[in-house]
Structure 1
Amino acid sequence: MKLLSVAIPCYNSAAYMSHAIETLLSGGDDVEIIIVDDGSKDGTLEIAKQYEGKYPNIIKAVHQENGGHGEAVNTGLKYATGLYFKVVDSDDWVNEEALSKILSVLREMVVNSEKLDMLISNYVYEKVSLNKRKVIDYKGALPEGRLFGWSETKHFRNSQNILMHSVIYQTKMLKDCGLSLPKHTFYVDNIFVYYPLPYVKNIYYLNVDFYRYFIGRDDQSVNEKVMMGRIDQQLRVNKFMIDCHDLTKIKNKKLRNYMVKHLVMMLTVSTVFLVKDGSQESLQKKEELWRYLEKKNKRLYQEVNKYFLGKSMQMTSWTGRRIIVMGYHISRKIYGFS
């Protein structure tokens, strides 16, 4: 059995997918690489099959009709045979030295029969065109170099949200909890990392800069103009996150607080883009989003409003909307997004 399965969702990725694959190949036979071609129209599938032919014991090339990023992740999880599961997007890559250290930790967990549900490592925003990078780590928030539970976590800074880039989950746990991402929807990586959290009991934080998150393509899903154009899909993801767990019933206080704070962050992103658009339709969608939360779970709505961001995002005056947008641009500077 493989130690780590890595799914690489690919859609028209022929121009850059090899970089991701080559960095993962450094893991050798401990790694299973599942390249999922999501109905590409370029040479993605041919490249995937070439790699599979060259590394038949490591690489699987899987073709599916176009179902979107989430369905490609679902397919990767379906084919995964490794004890642990990771998603690496086709335009990103990993640091080979950090991968070696991660595999050593995972191997140690198996040898010692330790139950590990989630391994967290650092990720790096890579703005290659500007030769800029920003490391996101979890120092201070998480114990380092040992197993721990949610009760041992400390304060998460606003930049320390756990994202898809930073997590490796136990494969069986993901399958057992019924994780299934919606088709034809962008930004489902937020669901991927958020939905399994209540099922996570044992965590390990390895302070290495593992995942390299490429920022810079004009058509990239996190490009601001692209995100504003896909706001309805963001709202769909927000509502899924509101619906998937009743956070007020989570007994572990630190886990509940983290998940509420993460939800506030997601609602804030959608609210900012709707306010920036400024049309009557967008402002109405903003109000509908917050009323959806209030109607769905009154106690959770009240808990969200204890956070400054949660409360401030509901300002409706012209001045209030200006404050929302200004706060967003300041945050981008602080956290290295621009």
Structure 2
Amino acid sequence: MKLLSIAVPCYNSAAYMDRCIRALLHGGEEVEILIVDDGSQKDNTGEIADRYEREYPTICRAIHQVNGGHGAAVMTGLKNASGVFFKVVDSDDWVDPESYDKILDTLRDFTAKNTQLDLLISNFVYEKEGAAHKRVMNYRKVLPTERLIGWDEIGHFLPGQYILMHSVIYRTALLKSCGLELPAHTFYVDNIFVYQPLPHVKTLYYLDVNFYRYYIGREDQSVNEQVMIGRIDQQLRVTRLMVESYDPYKIPQKKLRRYMILYLEIMMTICSILAIKSELPENLEKKKEIWRYLKQQNPRLYFRIRFGFLGQSMNLPGKGGRKISIAGYKIAQKFYGFN
């Protein structure tokens, strides 16, 4: 059995997947790299995946499937994972070798001691194209460092400090048993990947290393603002699925409950600001609809989010109110540093 399974979803990734996979090979024989070719047709992604499997048959595995989107590729990786722990690394991202060593040392130590670790969290770096300063997302003021903890020991997350897919390594068996489902042909499902398993996590560990390097810079990237506006329906779908997955008020751990509400608050804010910035009447109607949906689905959660600071700032009336919402969002974006 491998220590760590790493799924690498690839879709027409030939131009950059080499950097990702070569960085992951640093982990050696304790790691399996599951290269999921998600129906690539515009380049030789599949051939590159096959080449890595031939050259590193005990580490790399090429898996080819009909195109199903990022979520389907992640689920295929999980289905084929044999490692004790599971990580997703997107094909345009990479990892830091020194931090990688510390990650593996930590996972190895927990496994050797037969101590159950459900979730390991580490930092990630925004590798923004052209940026002189690379911003690091860390959790030093929220999570005790290098200590196995439960949810009762976490601190208070800031609005821009939520845990992303880049931050997490889950225990594989937990992901397979918690009912995780990621919809096909849908972007932004990484939010579901992080959010849905959280109530099943009993033990977590924070390693303060800058492990994951999150590349931002391609015009066609899913997190490009204009691309996100064009895919607002998918953002709305993911948000609905997250709202439907749990009633946070039924989660017994108070601090986890608070964090999950914050996560949904952020998702509602993103949906709202994308609709506002699009300036399209149909998207402004979709914004109203997602708030109506939240109210219908969970009135208590609706009032908590709608009349919080972010909720109020996203629902100011009229064109002038929308301008204020955008200005407030830009200030928060700069202050908290989220993308």
Report the TM-score when normalising by structure 1.
0.98
Deviation at 1:111, TM superposition (A): 1.1
Which letter maps to 1:174? Answer: L
Q: Deviations over 1:13-43 (max 9, x none)?
A: 0010011101110010111100000000110
In structure 2, the residue matched to 1:38 is 38
Instruction: Give yes or no for the alignment of 1:204 onto 2:180.
Output: no
Percent sequence identity over aligned pairs:
58
In structure 2, the residue matched to 1:321 is 322
Q: Deviations over 1:45-92 (max 9, x none)?
A: 100110000100000100000000000000000000000000000000
Check whether the contact 1:9–1:88 (CA below 8 A) recurs between aligned residues.
Answer: yes
- Matched position secondary structure for 1:235: helix
State the distance in 2 between where 1:306 and 1:283 align.
19
Check whether the contact 2:160–2:338 (CA below 8 A) recurs between aligned residues.
Answer: no
Q: Deviations over 1:97-145 (max 9, x none)?
A: 1010000010110111111100000000001333431100001100100
Deviation at 1:337, TM superposition (A): 5.5
Instruction: Give yes or no for the alignment of 1:256 onto 2:257.
Output: yes
State the distance in 2 between where 1:264 and 1:198 align.
18
- Matched position secondary structure for 1:157: coil
State the distance in 1 between where 2:198 and 2:45 align.
33
- Alignment root-mean-square deviation, CA: 1.1
In structure 2, the residue matched to 1:25 is 25
In structure 2, the residue matched to 1:171 is 172
In structure 2, the residue matched to 1:70 is 71
Taking a change above 3 Å as real, the CA distance of residues 128 and 283 of structure 1, as seen in their structure-2 partners, is: closer
Taking a change above 3 Å as real, the CA distance of residues 248 and 337 of structure 1, as seen in their structure-2 partners, is: closer
Deviation at 1:220, TM superposition (A): 0.3
Alignment of 1:120-269 (within 5 A): 120-269=121-270
Alignment of 1:81-96 (within 5 A): 81-96=82-97
State the distance in 1 between where 2:141 and 2:54 align.
45
- Matched position secondary structure for 1:148: coil
- Matched position secondary structure for 2:179: coil
Deviation at 1:303, TM superposition (A): 2.1
Deviation at 1:336, TM superposition (A): 4.0
Check whether the contact 1:290–1:314 (CA below 8 A) recurs between aligned residues.
Answer: no
State the distance in 1 between where 2:245 and 2:318 align.
32
- Matched position secondary structure for 2:134: strand
Q: Deviations over 1:143-198 (max 9, x none)?
A: 10010011000111222100000000000000000112000000000110011011
State the distance in 2 between where 1:175 and 1:141 align.
28
Check whether the contact 1:123–1:211 (CA below 8 A) recurs between aligned residues.
Answer: yes
State the distance in 2 between where 1:45 and 1:314 align.
46
Q: Structure 2: which 5+ runs fail to align? A: none
State the distance in 1 between where 2:72 and 2:330 align.
33
Which letter maps to 2:140? Answer: K
Which letter maps to 1:204? Answer: Y
Q: Structure 1: which 5+ runs fail to align? A: none
In structure 2, the residue matched to 1:80 is 81
Instruction: Give yes or no for the alignment of 1:6 onto 2:3.
Output: no
Count of aligned residue pairs for this structure pair: 338
Deviation at 1:246, TM superposition (A): 1.0
Which letter maps to 2:139? Answer: Y
